[in-house]
Structure 1
Amino acid sequence: MQGAYETGRYRNVFAEYGYSESEIRKRRDEIFQTLFYGSEDERIYHPVGDDMGYIEDTGNLDVRTEGMSYGMMMCVQMDRKEEFDRLWKWAVTYMRLSKGPNAGYFAWSCAPDGSKNAYGAAPDGEEYFAMALLFASHRWGDGEGIYNYSACARELLHICVHKGEKPGETGRAMWDPNNKLIRFIAEADFTDPSYHLPHFYELFAKWANEEDRPFWKQAAAASRAYLKKACHPVTGLSPEYSEFDGTPYTKDAKIWGRHDWYYSDAYRTVANIALDYSWFARDDWAVEEANRVQKFFCETVKDHPTGIYAVDGTILDGEALHPVAICAVNAEASLAANGPYAEECVRRFWNTPLRTGARRYYDNCLYFFAFLALSGEYRIR
């Protein structure tokens, strides 16, 4: 099988299951409108002044590079340049770090007024910023200064790979230079399975600075090999954090809290694997992995599908903080899945509304990405 990169064709899974093009487009547009311009209990986007705006993590009442870069990716996929530029200018104005060991990266959390809550960086934000900027360059063309999207993306990717190499330079690269795996943060020597985006790295290998392209090709292969280790061979579940060998990360619980389980961050892993398969179809393992996850939720824990689980499927105490996100990623897995639950997961997702209330941010970001992907609209731009 060839992926969309080679064929130029993106599956519209909703249409395959009988939903009309008009109702799919209408639903897609309504979701964007709700997230960006809905009521105060619905929206996550806030315009600021004449030329800026931010995405709020409504559960934590802050602005994160995760959400800002997600918002930019939503906008470039939807051809919404004004909102894209507003988000990018806010990020550059308030989040970009100009000094210290993380200079050149973006502060992972800021207050809505722009003041920094932290001076560390989270690599998932950087990789999404870079990909969204490259897509923006291809879709709208490059402008001047911070709107020279491709130049900004290439510079950021170069820093992510080479930081700390120059004599006297402080800080660390966001990817381990030896194993080519993304770190949880630059200062840490462990990773987060949901940060691994080999489909992005394949494109960085084509569009980043020429001298960095071999690294990104190696990173794509390394992440695909790593994900096979991080995802349980029976349940398909991955932990939130793991060692570089894929085993769940159990150290320093007093610092990081517990993250060796299938919980919030981890939901994204199967969605990323499915999107990678949709775009590049490099390995049919993705099909098996998607089938395993869907089987776990539709068969193994069908009576308790919104719990907290060990990666082996053991049901732990507590309930998922983001149940709509679980529904969304299980549906997005159908981009790769060919098992008996692919259609069931998609139809359940179609019938699930956006989340409202304080915890809506994370659920609804994953919801919209899943909807774009399943409608064939999450594309290489």
Structure 2
Amino acid sequence: MTGAFETGIYRNVFKECGYTEAEIEQRVEDTFRRIFHGTKEECFYHEVGEDMAYVEDTGNHDVRTEGMSYGMMVCVQLDRKEEFDRLWKWARTYMYLEGGSGHNYFAWSCAVDGSKNAEGPAPDGEEFFAMALFFASNRWGDGDGIFAYSKEARAILSECIHKGEEGHPGEPMWNPDLHLIKFITNVEFTDPSYHLPHFYELFALWADEKDRTFWKKAAEASRDYLHLACHEKTGLCAEYADYDGKPHEGDVQWFGRHDWYYSDAYRTIANIGLDYLWFKKDPWQVENANRLQRFYCEEQREHWDGVFLIDGTRLEEKALHPTAIIAVNAQASLAADGKYAVECVKRFWETPLRTGDRRYYDNFLYLFAMLALSGNYRIWK
């Protein structure tokens, strides 16, 4: 059993479900166009001057490393170098931290005018920046300065794991002993949706040579960790979790409640699906994807917009990002082989992009699912 990394074959799950290549290609192109170059009510990519652009979180009216790095990943997958370079230059110009304990990291939030809202990073941004930059290097070749993509990617990853060592002030983004990514650098708990073993496998090939063993261990540690974080019956995980996988219930006064299956957590099953497509190293991923799809399609068929504890208990709250749920449940079909895999994909196909102020997060997960299920979320090597 080998994944796309070895075979070079990327499943077109939409085609497997009966859609034609022409309509799939059109749907992917249209989704990208509307998000990046659509109407004012649709898009959240905004060009600035001759050579920069930013992605706005339309729900919070700021610019986040999450969205900027997501935008770069989308652009490298779709061979949109101009938009990629515009986003990277904006991020490197306004988000890069020149000093302090976060030196060489990126401020996780900026205002749309480029002024920083924070002086610290969010690790999911750095790992997506690094992966997108490596892919850009492999697809387009390195340029000069900040467009020496692979050099920039290696520098980011080096900071992520070596801060705190002698000569490297600050705090690392990974726990150095457990090889597990942190939620933010100054806490010792994690966010299951940050765990991207399929990225770490590639970092183990392309990062600084002295760091490659770390990234190989990180890939193994994250796959093992997700077994602990995802519930054995529902497949759900919490937004934030401790290193033993249990939902993180502390720090509510600082971060709010995050011990439930809610916004951040939706990304976890999408990541599991992509890891299975790329590497197929963990049969548990099939089982977990089947569990999650069964939970939604059998136990909660009428409540996909619900909020749940990881054991499946439905709460009174409604999901802030209901379109994202539909998208990631479909992306789970990259791993799932149960009776609901096709149903989840077709439900997603029939779901339009979200409109309104909260469209940013939902529609990014929508676009990622569209890429992954059409065979267009690829390893560029």
Q: State TM-score, norm by structure 1.
A: 0.99
Please state if 1:60 is matched with 2:60: yes
Structure 1 match to 2:119: 119
The aligned counterpart of 1:227 is 226
Alignment correspondent of 1:278: 277
- For 1:62, the aligned partner's letter is D
Which segment is superposed worse, 300-309 or 257-266?
A: 300-309
Counterpart AA for 2:137: S
Matches within 5 A, 1:45-124: 45-124=45-124
Correspondence for 1:312: 311
1:170 offset after TM fit, Å?
2.6
Query: Counterpart in 2 of 1:247?
Result: 246
Residue 143 in structure 1 maps to residue 138 in structure 2 = no
Structure 1 segments unaligned to the other structure (5+ residues): none
1:220 CA displacement: 0.1
Amino acid at match of 2:140: W
> How far apart are the structure 2 equivalents of 1:350 and 1:126?
31
Deviations 1:214-273 (A, max 9, x none): 000000000000000000000000000000110000011111100000000000000000
Q: Structure 2 matches for 1:162-181, cutoff 5 A?
A: 162-167=162-167, 169-181=168-180
User: Partner of 2:158 in structure 1?
Assistant: 158
Is 2:7 the partner of 1:10?
A: no
Secondary structure in 2 aligned to 1:261? coil
State the alpha-carbon separation in 1 of the partners of residues 18 and 2 from structure 2.
Answer: 24
Distance, in Å, in 2 between the alignment partners of 1:280 and 1:315 is 34
Name the residue aligned to 1:295: 294
Q: Within 2, Cα distance between the matches of 1:75 and 1:7?
A: 23
Gap runs ≥5 in structure 2: none
Structure 1 CA distance, aligned partners of 2:235 and 2:2?
23
Opposite residue 148 of structure 1, the aligned amino acid is A
1:317 CA drift (Å): 1.4
Count of residue pairs the alignment pairs up: 380
The alpha carbon displacement at 1:304 in A equals 1.1
Alpha-carbon separation, structure 2, partners of 1:60 and 1:235: 31
Q: Which residue of 1 aligns with 2:217?
A: 218
User: How far apart are the structure 2 equivalents of 1:283 and 1:75?
Assistant: 29
Percent identical pairs in the alignment equals 66
- How far apart in 2 are the matches of 1:305 and 1:66? 25
Give the Cα separation in 1 of the matches to 2:19 and 2:166.
55
Asked whether 1:33 is paired with 2:33, we answer yes
Q: Per the alignment, in what secondary structure is the counterpart of residue 181 of structure 2?
A: coil
Output the CA distance in 1 between the equivalents of 2:177 and 2:133: 27
| SS, match of residue 224 in structure 1 | helix
Q: CA RMSD in A?
A: 0.5
Distance in structure 2 (CA, Å) of the matches to 1:309 and 1:50:
46
Name the residue aligned to 1:133: 133
Q: Per-residue displacement from partner, 1:272-317 (whole Å, max 9, x unpaired)? A: 0010000000011000000011001101111211111000000011
The equivalent residue for 1:375 is 374
- 1:255 and 1:32 map into 2 onto residues whose CA distance is 36
Counterpart of 1:211, as a letter, is: K
Aligned twin of 1:348: 347
What is residue 194 of structure 1 aligned with on the other side?
A: 193
Could you tell me how far apart the structure 2 residues matched to 1:295 and 1:44 are?
34
- Secondary structure, in 3 states, of the residue corresponding to 1:199? helix
Letter in 2 for 1:322: H
Separation in structure 2 between the aligned mates of residue 81 and residue 237 of structure 1, nearest angstrom: 36
Structure 2: distance between partners of 1:31 and 1:46: 16
3-state SS in 1 of match to 2:308: strand
User: What SS does the corresponding residue of 1:150 show, helix, strand or coil?
Assistant: helix
Could you tell me which residue of structure 1 aligns to residue 358 of structure 2? 359
2:242 corresponds to which letter in structure 1?
A: E
Tell me the distance in 1 between the aligned counterparts of 2:124 and 2:252. 21
Letter in 1 for 2:372: A
Letter in 2 for 1:264: S
What's the TM-score once normalised by structure 2's chain length? 0.99
Measure how far apart 1:333 and its partner are.
0.2
1-structure distance, mates of 2:74, 2:119: 26
Deviations 1:126-175 (A, max 9, x none): 000000000000000000000000000001100101012124x4311100
